[in-house]
Amino acid sequence: MHETRSTVVSVGAAGVAGVAGSFAVAGFTPAFVGAALAAVVARVTPGVVVTAAITTLGDLGKLVNVAAALALAVVLFGALALFAVAVARALDSVVAAPVVTGFGVFAVATLVTGAPLASLGAGVAAGGTLAVSQIAGGRVTGTDEATPEPERRRVLASLAAAAAAVGPGYLLGRSRGPDPNEQTSVDDPIVRRLLDEAAGKSLDVDGLEPLVSDEFYRVDISAAAPTIDPEEWGLTVTGAVDESVELGYDELTAMESEERFATLRCVGEPLNGRKMDTALWTVVPLTDLLDRAGVDGNCCVMLRAADDYYEEFPLAALREGMLAYRMNGEPLPRKHGAPVRALIPGHWGEINVKWLTEIEVLDEPAEGYWEERGWHGTGPVNTVAKLHAVNRDDGVIEVAGHAYAGTRGVSAVEVSTDGGETWEEAALSEQLPGEDVWRQWAYEYESPGTAHEVVVRAREADGTLQPEDRTNSFPSGPTGWVSRELDG
């Protein structure tokens, strides 16, 4: 029994050390075995399960996916170590177990990640941990009679070795994966003027995010964002074109550009969720690139990314699209698509593809990544007025939020404090430059002294009232009036 328990602990410790060794070399990048397995798990999970995770767990679903991938990696490496122990016993070899473990973990990790260097770290850590365990127990093969004392030493040594791998591995990994696109902020007076303008137009309301978001939301299909050197990046226009076109980063940034405020909203967020944000982007229009390629069709386009994400939508929408390479005056961050991402005005965030590498013009409609999983978020974004801030002062209640209608614009936000019986117009922030930008709203009223329902709704620039009926985010994005019960 002692023998069995110590073996299980030893191979488990080797599995943990292998994962730590991979992280130490790669950091949380696609070269890390945990991140690579998380991507595999996400891709093979049935669409109905993914949808359930998005709509019920939100961001927690991604953490669950990563945790499952880490557990899978530990089990996988531990199984390799257990196999190596069996081989060592069969060969009656002193060195076979750690050697076979190290080589096996290295080979499997390389197969999963395609990153030999990070995989070498996994193999060395796993094999080394098993070696420490075997040496502490006074044997490698297990052919000697098992006694409690050596087995206890073996268990303690295994745990100590795994801890020694996890601690430094975590610290080393945290310092890995620098963003090659992160440079000194761009000292551009136009950028500074526009950001100052946005700050000046933002309403002074406690708990309300300013017009340029403090923290931009993030949704990816992969656990770890790709790390792409701008000098090695390239974008191709292929498919139903007169001539394929390829564009490099230097060529892109040499093109005439402009600063553009734009809002993005996630199709999978709850109705009053917080996956809707605004930034100032440095962009170049896509029209010149499409004209160079000779795009005459009127069907569709598929955008493809470095993380194997792909999304299809009408070609007409792309003609209004842009390529963004800076965000709020700084080089585009890795987590938001560095070095270049797409911005398609007025459409759900899912088609604003990050880490863009290919534009494929199609003759016939096709399904994108999320459409294959039952979603239909390629159309124009739904109009919404969100209620996020509630403040109280001496009997006065202030409610506030953001409103967004894509390129249709927002002309008014109306607030009801009696469950929709009567309506008053809220104060709106001044309009930022651009057609695809949210607005803030705020409204103050005397507290009725009892519990009451606050309802908010938006009107588009032409006066169209947003639909009242609520729908869930799946499959085409949430709609409906936001309401909230407040105490008196």
For the stretch 362-419, pLDDT in tens is 999 999 999 999 999 998 999 999 999 999 999 999 999 999 999 999 999 999 999 9
DSSP 348-402: -GGGS-SSEEEEEEESS----TTGGGT----SBPPPEE---EEEEETTEEEEEEE
CA 175, CA 431: separation in Å to the nearest integer? 41
CA 448, CA 452: separation in Å to the nearest integer? 8
Q: How do the pLDDT tens digits run along the chain, 488 residues long? A: 445 777 888 888 889 999 999 999 999 999 999 999 998 888 888 878 877 777 787 778 888 889 999 999 999 999 998 998 888 889 888 788 889 999 999 999 999 999 998 899 999 998 888 888 778 766 544 444 445 566 777 778 778 777 888 888 888 888 765 555 555 556 789 999 999 999 999 999 999 999 999 999 999 988 899 999 999 999 999 999 999 999 999 999 999 999 999 999 999 999 999 999 999 999 999 998 999 999 887 799 999 999 999 999 999 999 999 999 999 999 999 999 999 999 999 999 999 999 999 999 999 999 999 999 999 999 899 999 999 999 999 999 999 999 999 999 999 999 999 999 999 999 999 999 999 999 999 999 999 999 999 999 999 999 999 999 999 999 999 999 999 999 97
Do residues 126 and 17 touch, judged by C-beta distance below 8 A? yes
Strand runs labelled E in 69-173: none
pLDDT value for 382: 97
- pLDDT tens digits along 94-150: 788 889 999 999 999 999 999 998 899 999 998 888 888 778 766 544 444 445 566
DSSP 218-242: ---SSSS-----GGG-EEEEEESSS
Do residues 33 and 100 touch, judged by C-beta distance below 8 A? no
For residue 11, the one-letter residue type is V
pLDDT value for 140: 43
Do residues 428 and 439 touch, judged by C-beta distance below 8 A? yes
Do residues 385 and 479 touch, judged by C-beta distance below 8 A? no
Query: What is this structure's pTM?
Result: 0.88
CA 439, CA 150: separation in Å to the nearest integer? 69
pLDDT value for 3: 54
Do residues 164 and 125 touch, judged by C-beta distance below 8 A? no
Q: Which residues pair with 424 in a beta bridge?
A: 415
First-last CA distance in the chain: 66
2-26 and 148-174 helices, crossing angle to 10°: 10
Q: Residue 384 has which token pair?
A: 């919404």
- Name the helix (H) or strand (E) containing 67: helix 59-91
pLDDT value for 407: 97
